[in-house]
Amino acid sequence: MFSCWISRQYWGFSTPTGRIAHLIRGSLSRTLVLSSQRRTPEFSSFVARTNTCGELRSSHLGQEVTLCGWIQYRRQNIFLVLRDFHGLVQVVIPQEESAASVKKILCEAPVESVVQVSGTVISRPPGQENPKMPTGEIEVKVKTAELLNSCKKLPFEIKDFVKKTEALRLQYRYLDLRSFQMQYNLRLRSQMVMKMREYLCNLHGFVDIETPTLFKRTPGGAKEFVIPSREPGKFYCLPQSPQQFKQLLMVGGLDRYFQVARCYRDEGSRPDRQPEFTQIDIEMSFVDQTGIRSLIEGLLQYSWPNDKDPLVVPFPSMTFVEALASYGTDKPDTRFGMKIIDISDMFRNTEVEFLQDALSKPQGAVKAICISEGAKYLKRKDIESIRKFAADHFNQEVLPVFPKASRNWNTPVAQSILEEQRSGLIRLMEIQEDDVVLLTAGEHKKACSVLGKLRLECADLLEARGLVLRDPALFSFLWVVDFPLFLPKEENPGELESAHHPFTAPHPSDLQLLYTEPEKVRSQHYDLVLNGSEIGGGSIRIHDAELQRYILATLLKEDVKLLSHLLQALGFGAPPHGGIALGLDRLICLVTGAPSIRDVIAFPKSFRGHDLMSSAPESLPPEELKPYHIQVSWPADSEA
């Protein structure tokens, strides 16, 4: 949001905040320079221009240049501002009679037409410099001009301050891509990925290997797109990740693999998901968790954009149990405090009934979070809506308590709690004047989950009231480790399913529990969390064929025939191995501060999985399905 605002300022020249815009634009150039290591890319090699519009400075004075760009706007038929990806430059339209044809071209071409101009870089007359524009000290005195292509009436203006619906932006994506923000996002993405490749290939000897996307169904792969083949009844599937292939590459002795891999997941319309997405997919042999974590920390540090503060490594880490207890989630946003505190001990002898009730049950607990300055920033209706949220979504009672606040709206119950436990609370939770405590009681996991949600809700509320809790320049990475290996199946809690996937190795200390209490086994899975979003996950894999077979067949009750090739491969001298995948779209989204992953993808699909530009997916005539031996089964209601 911040950067949107910046770019709006920049392209529009509408306010005097151009200095910041200048910094941002400057930092884009800086990034471009540094990514190539001491050498600026030659942006004008092989093409008709001699220079980009955005690169011209006083150091170019007197040079004859040829520029190609889009007409951003025209002022009084005297000046033209020309744009390319690199920036804007002012062009002086010749007024002499002898240059009438040049003047005609430049004055008649509609905005967003493409022109090629040649001329001399000159100083702007004293007093006419524009310090808000990187090229603001110079202008180009045009000698010749050519209209390369005229522009019809546009569906919207190519100015960032012109608000457009997302549907309109997606329909005319090729126009939307001309915006500063989209250019910045896509170029930053390309640069970060390039640096990741340098780190992996050139510094650490990884091999970039492409794996197939026409594959077969994986067990439980209900979200995989199917592709009919020309053999009747036979289908390929688009894989959700190259998981099996990367493990097979380890068996094949390609002991450091990576791929910027296209993956597919058919989830219908879930917000901020795309049916196809990209992950930085990595696998190594002879590695442990520490090795993978160091690799990834180095990778992110190396590829981190130069216009951001450098990353500090190693990243902190936290067990799953700890994350749940302190943040109520396995992806804690650690940019701010407000941690969940267990205050059960304070209430062992309470006479408040619902607390007694909670504490008498297994896993029962009393939990609380402290909202700093909550009494100052939150309104009574905010607190009410928070309580309602907890009741509606979690069926959970939440009590606001104001241990020190001068004004408070404590309920009678809260009052009686206060009197008993005030000093304990104040000490344990380090309560300050104006702090509000949200207290709940119940089963440990549920109580933590609800407070974890409320913690984020309150942060949003406080920020909406002007308090800055989460510094937009802060990137808070966190490893979450020691996940459970299995979870009870939702539809049948007596059975187990993999918490992540069935190839995850159990924690070595818990190996024996596999045969006695498998639900207690921790895994060697690890997640990488950034600012409260999961941006990566991976694990040490099972390399023992018998263990893999036991887990698949006995514990998970899967049909091992579907994975017979993998089981067989593990038996032929598979090395110990592990890996990780980083979600590239999400990572770039967080780094650029974009509001949606659709803003870091050149041609994204809409919420409903549609390409609004070309209108895919679309109907096909039955004869085009014939070679694939399929026909449409029209639902009954649509036949009517």
- Closer Cβ to a second copy, 198 or 463, answer by number: 198
Which residue of 2, 286, 409, 515 would you call a contact of a second copy, by CB under 8 A? 286
- Closer Cβ to a second copy, 172 or 354, answer by number: 172
Minimum distance of a second copy from residue 183's CB (angstroms):
7
Q: For residue 564, count CB atoms less than 10 angstroms from its CB and return exposed for 0-12, middle for 13-18, buried for 19 or more.
A: exposed
Show the site string, 572-601: x = touches a second copy by CB under 8 A, - = not.
Answer: xxxxx------------------------x
* Residue pair 211/279 in contact by the 8 Å Cβ criterion: no
Which residue of 22, 159, 262, 273 would you call a contact of a second copy, by CB under 8 A? 262
Show the site string, 16-55: x = touches a second copy by CB under 8 A, - = not.
Answer: ----------------x--xxx-x-xxx-xxxxx------
* Residue pair 325/332 in contact by the 8 Å Cβ criterion: no
- Closer Cβ to a second copy, 114 or 418, answer by number: 114
- With contacts defined by CB under 8 A, name the span among 56-64, 176-184, 373-381, 589-597 that binds a second copy: 176-184
Residue from 7, 25, 26, 23 nearest 15 by CA: 7
- Closer Cβ to a second copy, 39 or 407, answer by number: 39
Minimum distance of a second copy from residue 620's CB (angstroms):
5
Residues 385 and 404: their CA atoms lie apart, in Å, by 22
Residue from 220, 294, 211, 281 nearest 252 by CA: 211
> Facing residues of 477 across strands?
530
Q: Which of residues 49-88 bind a second copy (CB under 8 A)?
A: 49, 68, 70, 83-85
Residues 438 and 435: their CA atoms lie apart, in Å, by 10
- Closer Cβ to a second copy, 244 or 421, answer by number: 244
Please state whether beta strands 138-149 and 87-92 pair in parallel, antiparallel, or not at all (unpaired). Answer: parallel
Residue from 429, 434, 433 nearest 465 by CA: 434
Q: Determine, following the binding rule CB under 8 A, whether residue 108 of this chain makes contact with a second copy.
A: no
Residues 583 and 530: their CA atoms lie apart, in Å, by 11
Which positions ≥6 away from 125 have C-beta within 8 Å?
Answer: none
Minimum distance of a second copy from residue 245's CB (angstroms):
6
- Which residue do the tokens 């913690």 mark? 455
Q: Which of residues 130-159 bind a second copy (CB under 8 A)?
A: 148-152, 154
Q: Which of residues 609-638 bind a second copy (CB under 8 A)?
A: 609, 611, 613-620, 624-626, 628-635, 638
Residues 475 and 535: their CA atoms lie apart, in Å, by 12
Residue from 503, 505, 502 nearest 482 by CA: 505
Residues 384 and 21: their CA atoms lie apart, in Å, by 41
Q: Which of residues 177-236 bind a second copy (CB under 8 A)?
A: 177-178, 182-183, 186-187, 190-191, 193-194, 197-198, 201-217, 222, 225-236
- With contacts defined by CB under 8 A, name the span among 108-116, 373-381, 451-459, 511-519 that binds a second copy: 108-116
Which residue of 118, 278, 329, 531 would you call a contact of a second copy, by CB under 8 A? 278
Q: Determine, following the binding rule CB under 8 A, whether residue 552 of this chain makes contact with a second copy.
A: no
Q: Determine, following the binding rule CB under 8 A, whether residue 313 of this chain makes contact with a second copy.
A: no
Q: Determine, following the binding rule CB under 8 A, whether residue 456 of this chain makes contact with a second copy.
A: no
Amino acid at 537: G
* Residue pair 155/175 in contact by the 8 Å Cβ criterion: yes
- Closer Cβ to a second copy, 29 or 410, answer by number: 29
SS3 of residue 282 by DSSP: strand
